[in-house]
Amino acid sequence: MSLTFYWYPKCGTCRKAKKWLDDHNLAYEAIHIADNPPSADSLRNLYEKSGLEIKKFFNTSGQKYRELGLKDQVKSSTDDELLNLLASDGMLIKRPILTDGNKVTVGFKEEDYEKTWLA
């Protein structure tokens, strides 16, 4: 299983997720989400495979999200508009995102990682 791990190294939650992956000896390719944000097409693929609402891909507690006043925009924009917005700035994306190409987790909850990545 080849994993792709989108993360931001200064993010405490990302560091916890990385430690969990390392502790469970899971190999992954780490991608710095701010330096190399996923494209709109990649995000669409992640979004469709995740089964989550698109708003779950937004880092709603992030400074950039608040600065841009995206709360109302997320409610009224199309999926395409939102995916393009996310792809424009990795700091808008909730992290970490972990995928094997079929399964996707957004954020880090140990129980979710165990169910998804150790099963």
The CATH code of the domain that includes 21 is 3.40.30.10
* Residues 57, 10: Cα–Cα separation, whole Å: 19
Total domains in the fold of the chain: 1
Q: What share of the chain has pLDDT > 70, as a percent?
A: 99
Residue 76 has pLDDT above 90, yes or no: yes
Largest CA distance in the chain: 42
Q: Provide mean pLDDT across the span 89-104.
A: 97
The total of other beta-carbon atoms located within 10 Å of residue 103's CB is 15
Residue 95, pLDDT score: 97
Residue 1, pLDDT score: 66
Q: Would you say 3 and 27 are in contact if contact means Cβ atoms under 8 Å apart?
A: yes
* Residue 89 binned pLDDT confidence (cut-offs 50, 70, 90): very high
Q: Provide mean pLDDT across the span 42-54.
A: 97
Residue 84, pLDDT score: 97
Domain of residue 49: give its range: 3-117
